[in-house]
Chains A and B, each alone.
Chain A
């Protein structure tokens, strides 16, 4: 075990694209911890998807051995944090495992919404926040101004913040020295009852769940019986150790102040919730560490196999994914239109896209996904209150006394030139303006309260496009508020397709209904008969389009030389038909569902 005074536990926090992962790479290199040849683009983002999207989805940690200028060897534990608003809770738990945070600020862009949000999280977690000014190699860099910004806006001293370029490896040494000097050494009693906080876990098919943890009090050793205080699960420790850049390195014990991993033949990550406290079974801690809360999915959508016979495959895949991602939830659901599938809960839309992509890519499934929705709260005339997770459960309008939807407090930061655009956008999305603060001479932070439903679709993309990429966003749930909500139903050839129903704000119903009918008309192939596409609220038709009957679909020429090629064409058309779902009399390709999801792309 490393002496407490020689341990530094820290995170790197930043707004997206400010260079967090690049800095992490440089720190690893500077500590000579990485074999250059086996370096992937960005070391800590190890999931394939993460690398493609350039964002960290899951937290990971790595231990560096650093020979400091003072002549001592320090053990630096870098705990990475996810970089998207969907994963705020994970961020908070990763931070809770540290004593300090390196705040990376882009020398030309300055303080952004996530810079603020993450800094506040770090300060709330009681961390020492150490600013670093990155990308000083850029011609547009203005480090002095950005330092002043950090002091003015965030209120932390930044005068001595290292000016670095992670990309070009400039001044990385100064960052390491700052970490040794300014991040407080951890404290704790290694003889006390065990208190270890889980900040991440990962399923490994050979060892079972690998729990990433920060030991607060006591010591954990192989052979010891441990208990997860929130879930109550009990296990016998098989192995403990630390995460070196090359992989897991086992150790005889982990003591207070240290960051490492525990394996204990755990079958599912559901038993190892992020934020939970591990204690000893024989000598338990009197209480868990503060801050645990079960993660609540906020966005729900129906996930169905495009080919109905693949239901079991989908179930197996979800089960496996769930082993690795406790924040996702799934419940069997059935739709008249789509048959058997699952109602899945996600932290946000990004999380939803990631899960869908993983299901399709890693498990080779073809999926139909219904429009995502938030959880609504409905009070019926009978006095009963219910939470509505799917449009399928929306009560008859006659039975609804009060409908409510979740609202969020939204913070938007952008150069002042875009204030008008942002205000327009927020208004369209039913945002209620709260206040506006000038962060400096040119940048403004606006606060709104807005229905979560309006944020989860494509608000972030819309914001980016209306602020030429300069706008940034952060939000936080503030509870339910009454709203005028209706359920919009879609009818194909007179039959309702339940999987296409969704709940929306009453005033948006007409334009939305028209658009959805148009989209469906464009995406549903012509059939042998004319197909009316209608949108209805409570039985009243509010929009209609017609798909004309198929008149011509023929290969005029087919002689000896054409047969192979024409055969392939027909084969392709046949495969397309296989992916279609038949609703009553109408065949709908899965692309039609996708098109309906992407309504806001004007």
Chain B
């Protein structure tokens, strides 16, 4: 099935009859999944299985679209959000995405999570010319409009974040002995590549990997301390990041620690690890941290909190996935708005590649979403920050971590 460009003649006629303004003259164009009343959005995320922690993203987005609908929808159309469980298994992801496209007939597949799942569905969606919109993974490969014109990323790539740390260290601590602890999966490996590219071979890294199945990573920290390294780059997911921070403090290892953005949450990583152990920690961010006291009165975050109170009261504010889902959903709402009455898949990709200085409520001041026909990496900016007291202090400029293709 190529993009079936159905012009709903009947709908258009009715609309022309009702509205006599100029909008009626603007031609309405729809693909499967869009009508005068409704836009159907498909979504997959693990609700069950070992990665079910991410299910919160799906629930947040569902709540966000409920809010949109309660406020009249987008250009008069309600969002119908169909979200399925892929249990973080690539074969299941293929099954569910095919169900979304072929049975539920959604307009786009939005924010599918995880590098393996997205890799599994990428070819299919591009062959079907269905947008694979704002994928929820930081792998660099999603920014490839030449080969995959229907796939577009959202968050900064892991590699670009890795480069930023490398550049910082080369400038501030050129003689450092650097240890890297990374998770042995696509996330860890991509980061590591970014770091190595950033150092351009000017520093030798002591690499140590761990598996997600390990109950604790204490022994890795002990081993890395014994190497005499004075910098630890911790490319870890939240639980392991907290363990690393705590263990390093316990064994009195006073290395400068850099923690990956995914694990920089004040409430769900640093607080459990102990604020006293987290002082001086470095990281980089693109979004505001809902558990960081400095954003309590920020207008954008106030909107976010108001949304949580009304539409997702059971959502945990400490969970960075909630902030994430809100930002991604807001970006989708923005491009649907930009599409106007031309709700074809081609136009959605066109608008997604046409974002200029868009700032969702939850992004850091100065971080803007920009895309173009050759740049499918929406968020590319990050700012370095240092943990002090009970909050992050942002410092330096907002850095663009563009990774050339």
Is B a genuine binding partner of A? no
Residues of A within 8 A of B (CB): none
